[in-house]
Amino acid sequence: MLDPFQLLNLPRGFDLDDCVLRGALIKASLQWHPDRFALGTEEQRDKAEDHMADLNEAFAMLSSPLQRAETLLALSGFALNEGTDQTSSAAFLMRMMELKEEADDALKSDDVVRIGEMRRRIQEDIAHRVEQLRDSFRAWKAADYCPGTLTPLRALLTEAVYLQRTLDGLQITTMFQS
Amino acid sequence: MIELPIYGQNFSADESADPILGIDLGTTHSLVAVFQHGEARVLCNEDGEALLPSVVSYPIDGSPVVGQAAIERSRLDPKRTIFSAKRLIGRGLEDLVVERATLPYDLVESGERKIVKIDLGDRLITPEEVSAQILAACRDRAVKQLKLPPERLRRAVITVPAYFDDAQRQATRRAAQLAGLEVLRMVSEPTAAALAYGLDKKKAARVVIFDLGGGTFDVSILELQEGVFRVLATSGDTHLGGDDFDRAIMVHVAAEIQQRSGIDVLSDPAARTALRMIAEKTKKALSASESAEFVYHDPSAGIAYRKDIDWRMFQTWITPLVQRTLNGCALALQDAGLTPEDISDVLLVGGSTRVPLVKAAVAQFFNQPASDELNPDQVVALGAAIQAGVLGGSVRNALLLDVTPLSLGIATAEGTVSKLINRNSAIPAQAKEGFTTFVDGQSAVKFTIIQGERELAKDNRTLGEFILRGIPPQPAGLPQIGVRFSLDADGVLHVRAMEERSGVAAETVVTPKHGLTDEEVESMLADAWENAEEDLVTRRTMDLRGQLKNVRHAVAKHMDIARARMDETALERLEDAYEDSEDVDDIHDPNPLKGILDELEEAANPLAELLMNQVATETVRNRKVSDLIDE
């Protein structure tokens, strides 16, 4: 799999400052963007297109903390498994189902304000879990990446991914598309 | 670590190299700019006019006319004078229901792929051909202003609305091809505007570019940092612009005329052209004053209409349109993960941002004044020229990182869309997705490529279809078909599919549903070449006939003098030549015509000498020379 840390020349880890990440993309883009090869050979331009596409993908994988966490797990050989990973509790699943219903209602209402408020609420929920994830990754590192310490981290990440999906489904997009 | 191949990037700038044109191909007008001697500048015509109206008129006999001259023909020849071709390009008739009602020219669907064509009466032309004429006119302007031969001005950066889809981008590229231009890069209009705005800004900024032009609306949010312009999100509508404001006025006026007189003025092409022009004038007047008079007379139809339109009425009519632009802003903010407070600058681009309601609505939405410090008409062309400088190597400190405006995916068997590339992904981008077969022994799979945000495939734009054939017979679900999307830096999609067990592969640049194919472009280019030759012959023939007519006229007028004073041999020769030149309407070849003309002129030489002498004599007698010499 593509190692985004390596591509962008960044140290592998969950803690990653936005400015540092942006700086890494800019530095790589200045070297690799196809615009730099506009007068080059076709082969050079094709190579630049390919490599810049990889850089863009790497940036996208790292800029979202959740994707970054998933990437880190996958790179360490502990990828999150769709469906089989246990969430923390049945109570959480219950809450998710309620949230999904609420989201569907909000979408049906076409009420931009209501959708916006709900999005903000979910975003706060995710941000809260991202903070906890930060601690979990530190704990994992402190435990010399012992797989045994991963269970709470995986549960936390699974919850956050659920929330993110609900958020992705709750967009004002479709209302404006004719 | 992967070893990155390092090869010679950053080609050094060569000042003697052929300039790369920066062209803003707009709905209502176009501009051409170049980056030279460290700065971008817009090229004007002889009259100092920067804007070239994006209008092409096709006289029934003669070459197409572009720009102001075409506008002047529009009332005379509304059905053969094409404006707003950009709204048609890469589109199908089903997309053009609103426009079609008020366009003075006729549209038809042609061929299996339902390409929209404009019906000139005696022939059909494509929107690509119209745009090609405009692009060629831009290049001609550069040829004149830069004093360079056309073959040294063959490369260009062309701007397109950020929200143009794949079909519209490809159609624009084909228009350039028809005009003989190589497109080095297509740049989004708001991104180009940001480049012109932010090139000399040192501090980091988050900028909103609100670009409302004649026919298209874009809003883009960019992050500026160390000369790198990174687009965070873009949104828009390729069917929303100042044209729609004009149409709003037109529709209200036409309804009122019909109410008063019972006449449906919109059914008459000439009236549509006239009303549209008056509506545009009214709109412009309302940007500067509180009310404007709308006057329309058509004595032949018995219509005498006048009305004072005040800004409140106009606001009411256009409010739904302005609201649509604000929806786009909300969407872009959401996708960028930002709120209005995160924005440091709001820039207005495009002529339609001169409308006070637009300006006010944008300022209110972003809760800060919207800057119109840049010339909204020129900023996109200047940005295109700077991007040309970036590509040519003369601008070293800037780089654009753009995104794709719409999601791309493949229609599933259930009728939904499997998205491979999400909207607002940075370009170039690549993505891969696995598919398989549904039936035992299935040897071919059809893929339908979809662009858009709707859940169901049928609600989105179908970019094209292609079939992967030759899959060796296997039980259903066993073949592993990898489909790979590559979206290049111009935002154009390339698709490759491969059955991984057998290695059977198919590859395609998606041929847009409504666009021209490579073959069609090639045949058009060939036609154009032939026609160019044909045009040349026709013009030469007509010139020769004209000259012949003048000489015959002069000879006839002075035949008395010739008969009285020329010697017999010379007179006979002149009479023969005159007779031979009488009936030349059937001669279409310039060569024999030239022979006839030469002979007549030579035979008339003695007469000319006689006349010269006579002129000298007559002058002595105080008569005016002009009385004697014709024309």
Q: What is the pTM of this model?
A: 0.77
Whether residues B347 and B230 share a domain: the answer is: yes
Q: How far is B224 from chain A (nearest CA, A)?
A: 11
Tell me the three state secondary structure of residue B511: coil
Q: What is the pLDDT of residues B289-318, one digit of tens each?
A: 898 999 888 888 788 888 899 999 999 999
Same domain? For B91 and B137 the reply is yes
pLDDT for res B621: 43
Average pLDDT over chain B, rounded to an integer: 84
Domain-embedded: residue B192: yes
Residue A151 has pLDDT above 50, yes or no: yes
Which of A33, A40, A177 is closest, CB to CB, to B453? A177
- Please tell me the predicted confidence (pLDDT) of residue B12: 46
Instruction: Give yes or no: residues B394 and B426 share one domain.
Output: no
Query: Can you give the pLDDT at residue B4?
Result: 36
Q: What range defines the domain where residue B456 resides?
A: 408-515
* Cα distances (angstroms) measured from residue A128 to each of A68, B185, B505: 16, 43, 47
In this prediction, residue B457 has a pLDDT band, given cuts at 50, 70 and 90, of confident
CATH number of the domain at B490, please: 2.60.34.10
- Pair B299, B201 in one domain: no
- How many separate domains does chain B show? 4
Alpha-carbon distances, residue A134 vs A8, A150, A156 (angstroms): 21, 13, 11
B44 pLDDT above the threshold of 60: yes
Higher pLDDT, B265 or A174: B265
**Mean pLDDT of all residues in B49-69:** 92
Domain membership flag for residue B12: no
Pairwise CA distance, residues B263 & B301, whole Å: 8
Closest by Cβ to B225, choosing from A22, A36, A177: A22
3-state secondary structure of B301: helix
pLDDT score, position B157 = 97
Residue B9, pLDDT score = 40
CB atoms within 10 A of CB A40: 17
The pLDDT of residue B512 is: 53
Residue range B446-459: average pLDDT? 85
Q: How many CB pairs under 8 A join A and B?
A: 101
Mean pLDDT rounded to a whole number for chain A: 85
On whether any CB of chain A is under 8 Å from the CB of B479, the answer is: no
Q: Residue B513 pLDDT > 60, yes or no? A: no
d(CA A27, nearest CA chain B) in Å: 10
The per-residue pLDDT for B622 is 41
Asked if A14 and A134 count as a contact pair (C-beta separation under 8 A), the reply is yes
DSSP character for B120?
-
ipTM value for the complex? 0.84
Q: Is residue B197 part of a domain?
A: yes
Q: What is the pLDDT of residues A11-66, one digit of tens each?
A: 999 999 989 999 999 999 999 999 999 888 889 999 999 999 999 999 999 999 99
Domain end call among B295, B318, B341: B318
Last residue of a domain, one of B301, B318, B335: B318
pLDDT tens per residue, range B166-182: 889 999 999 999 999 99
Q: Kindly determine whether residue A33 and residue B399, on different chains, have CB atoms separated by under 8 Å.
A: yes
Q: Do A172 and B331 touch (CB under 8 A)?
A: yes
pLDDT of residue A178: 38
Nearest-CA distance A86 → chain B (Å): 26
Q: Catalogue the E-assigned strands of B74-204.
A: 81-82, 106-110, 115-119, 124-125, 155-160, 182-188
The predicted pLDDT at position B508 comes to 62
Q: Which residue of A has its CA nearest to B453?
A: A174
Token pair 């049945």 is at which residue?
A90
Domains of chain A, each with CATH number or no CATH: 4-63 (1.10.287.110), 90-176 (1.20.1280)
Per-residue pLDDT, averaged over B408-422, amounts to 87
Q: In angstroms, rounded to a whole number, what is the distance separating the alpha carbons of residues B155 and B456?
A: 40
pLDDT above 70: percentage of residues in chain B: 88
Confidence of residue B2 (pLDDT cuts 50, 70, 90): very low
Specify the pLDDT at position B206: 93
Structure confidence by residue, pLDDT tens digits, B557-570: 888 888 888 888 88
* CA–CA min distance B141, chain A (Å): 25
DSSP B76: T
CA distance A80 to B577: 98
CATH number at residue B172: 3.30.420.40
Identify all chain A residues contacting B452, using CB atoms and an 8 Å cutoff. Answer: 177
pLDDT at B281: 93
Contact in structure between B52 and B142 (CB atoms under 8 Å) = no
Do B332 and B281 belong together in one domain? no
Indicate if B275 and B325 belong to the same structural domain.
no
Choose the closest CB to A174 out of B5, B425, B453. Answer: B453
Say yes or no to pLDDT of B623 above 50: no
Query: Is the domain of B481 the same as that of B415?
Result: yes
**Residue A176, pLDDT score:** 45
The pLDDT-based confidence of A115 (bands split at 50, 70, 90) is confident
Domain end, chosen from B300, B318, B336, is at B318
**Of the candidates B185, B399, B429, which has its C-beta nearest A30's C-beta?**
B399
State whether residue B1 sits within 8 Å of chain A by CB.
Answer: yes
